[in-house]
Amino acid sequence: MSKTIVVIGAQWGDEGKGKIVDLLAARFDIVVRYQGGHNAGHSVQVGDRSFVLHLLPSGIVHPGKICVLGNGMVIDPKAFFEEADRLTAQGIEVSPDRVKISSRAHLILPYHRALDHTSEERLGNEKVGTTLRGIGPAYEDKAGRRGIRTADALVPDVLRSRIERNLEDANRIIQAYGGEKLDADEIFNEMLRLTERLGNFISDTTHYLNVAASEGRSILLEGAQATLLDVDHGTYPFVTSSSTTVGGAICGTGLAPHRLTGVLGIVRTYTTRVGEGPFPTEMLEGEAELGQLIRERGREYGASTGRPRRCGWFDAFATRYAAEINGFTSVALTKLDVLDSLDEIKVCTGYKLDGRVCDSLPAVSQDLSRIEPIYATQPGWKTSTVGTTEMSSLPANARRYVEFLSAQIGVEIGLVSTGPERSQTIVVHHSALGSWLND
């Protein structure tokens, strides 16, 4: 049966989407990224080989799958070719036959990176903690109607005049904050060289995807970042600048909404966050050692920037919010094994603000920073679950923990990940996710 499934992180990112998309990709014809850029970092482990992907969808490591970079993305051509060349050296085919870049996707130019730095410096203590890849400024230009789309860049006159016009403003800001003025000719010549090579990859992917869907081809839409980093629904202003949630999958591809047949949430058994911003269940002070243990066991360091991730307990209240926005059909629960050695595991089941229980996630980030989490404590299992492939083989307390999280989120759990490798996975065959993986 034809299927179009969206995969979305339910927390602040790094939930382990790379592995799950990789498992699913084998069962789909086309894998699509719909937002963000090379701020993302997905790790995929195939046997003893490891691939890190920033711009390309995880489907790229499966020979023969078509990969699409949708119109909702912002693409740094230099980063694209660095990644493509690295993957080619690892034996992966990255050719225009299997990689299609939307003619409506926006480009990240060197001045976007410079503006990202300037903007963070200006914010000082209130900085967002961005990846400094130029993502926010490129989306600002898109919304400001002065961005340069991939198709525009193929017309040298248009490329030159837009660069000249945009750089005038960008240089004013960069220089006002002590940065070095950028040169329009230099940027134009570099972009011309890169976009000439990019040209072969560029096409109308919106039409391509809608035709593919109507012909019954299966499509996997791969979200980057995650729900709580969504520019509308996330913990604003500590968010990324794109729509990471289910609506973004529609806007960012041009696929008609009725094509979607399922939404998969990726949820980790604990929570992490990189960059600044409120994090109600963060392990701080008395729990800092525990946070460090989880960071080491879970290898919680950014795949893109190498930054240590902040670690915290599972936040069922925020995950319920993610389930509500995205309408998850099924959930993949990742990194169960990271909690193997804990005596007790806390789960945040609700929020209190100024002594009152919250009905919904507060909109103001200062309020989110003052949240008092309501915790339920679950017993640990103190046994290794690494590599377990059957739910019935899990220690009883681990199984109870999984069931408790499912009840808290209000969505079935279709898969539990017990290690980074493809084989280290429990699939619940009678779930929606089980059916997507099996047919």
Catalytic site positions:
14, 42
Q: Is 424 in the site for ligand IMP (CB under 6 A)?
A: no
What are φ and ψ of residue 155, in 5° steps?
A: -105, 100
**Cβ atoms 7, 20 nearer than 8 A:** yes
**Residue in the shown chain whose Cβ atom is closest to ligand IMP:** 275
Contact region for ligand IMP (CB under 6 A) — 118-126, 131-139, 320-328, 366-374? 131-139
- Give residues 9-68 in contact with ligand IMP (rule: CB under 6 A): 13-14, 39-41
Q: Is 129 in the site for ligand IMP (CB under 6 A)?
A: yes
Distance CA(141)–CA(152), nearest Å, equals 14
Q: Is 264 in the site for ligand IMP (CB under 6 A)?
A: no
What are φ and ψ of residue 413, in 5° steps?
A: -105, 120
Nearer to ligand IMP, 132 or 184 (CB): 132
Number of residues located near ligand IMP, criterion CB under 6 A: 20
Closest CB 145 distance from ligand IMP, rounded Å: 20
Nearer to ligand IMP, 39 or 58 (CB): 39
Distance CA(181)–CA(194), nearest Å, equals 22
Query: Which one among 35, 195, 241, 418 touches ligand IMP, defined by CB under 6 A?
Result: 241
Query: Which one among 4, 71, 102, 130 touches ligand IMP, defined by CB under 6 A?
Result: 130
Q: Is 133 in the site for ligand IMP (CB under 6 A)?
A: yes
Nearer to ligand IMP, 41 or 248 (CB): 41
Nearer to ligand IMP, 37 or 414 (CB): 37
Nearer to ligand IMP, 206 or 298 (CB): 298
Closest CB 270 distance from ligand IMP, rounded Å: 15
**What DSSP string describes 197-236?**
HHGGGEE-HHHHHHHHHHTT--EEEE--S-GGG-TTTSST
Closest CB 54 distance from ligand IMP, rounded Å: 9
Closest CB 132 distance from ligand IMP, rounded Å: 7
23: tokens are: 């498992």
Burial 290-309 (b: 16+ CB within 10 A, else e): bbebbbebbebebbbeeeeb
Closest CB 428 distance from ligand IMP, rounded Å: 27
315: tokens are: 């936040």
**Cβ atoms 349, 375 nearer than 8 A:** yes
**Amino acid in position 69:** L
Nearer to ligand IMP, 259 or 335 (CB): 335
Cα-based torsion angle of the residue sequence 147, 238, 328, 296 in order, rounded to the nearest 10 degrees? 120
Contact region for ligand IMP (CB under 6 A) — 98-106, 122-130, 262-270, 349-357? 122-130
Contact region for ligand IMP (CB under 6 A) — 25-33, 125-133, 352-360, 411-419? 125-133
Q: Is 269 in the site for ligand IMP (CB under 6 A)?
A: no
Closest Cα to residue 313, out of 380, 390, 238, 246?
380
Query: Which one among 275, 362, 373, 414 touches ligand IMP, defined by CB under 6 A?
Result: 275
Q: Is 136 in the site for ligand IMP (CB under 6 A)?
A: yes
Closest CB 9 distance from ligand IMP, rounded Å: 8
Closest Cα to residue 271, out of 9, 4, 1?
9
Q: Is 119 in the site for ligand IMP (CB under 6 A)?
A: no
Closest Cα to residue 107, out of 153, 50, 169?
153
For helices 396-409 and 316-326, give the axis angle rounded to 10 degrees.
Answer: 50
Cα–Cα separations (whole angstroms), residue 382 to 113, 333, 344, 397, 420? 46, 19, 9, 9, 20
437: tokens are: 């993986």
Closest CB 116 distance from ligand IMP, rounded Å: 7
Burial class of 38 by CB neighbour count within 10 A (0 to 12, 13 to 18, 19+): buried
Nearer to ligand IMP, 96 or 237 (CB): 237
Query: Which one among 60, 109, 115, 135 touches ligand IMP, defined by CB under 6 A?
Result: 135
Closest CB 227 distance from ligand IMP, rounded Å: 12
Distance CA(236)–CA(238), nearest Å, equals 5
Distance CA(210)–CA(19), nearest Å, equals 26
171: tokens are: 């240089």
Query: Which one among 240, 281, 378, 425 touches ligand IMP, defined by CB under 6 A?
Result: 240
> Cis omega before residue 237 (within 30°)?
yes
Nearer to ligand IMP, 13 or 66 (CB): 13
Distance CA(116)–CA(235), nearest Å, equals 19
Query: Which one among 58, 119, 195, 225 touches ligand IMP, defined by CB under 6 A?
Result: 225
Interface with ligand IMP by CB under 6 A: which residues? 13-14, 39-41, 128-131, 133, 135-136, 224-225, 229, 238, 240-241, 274-275
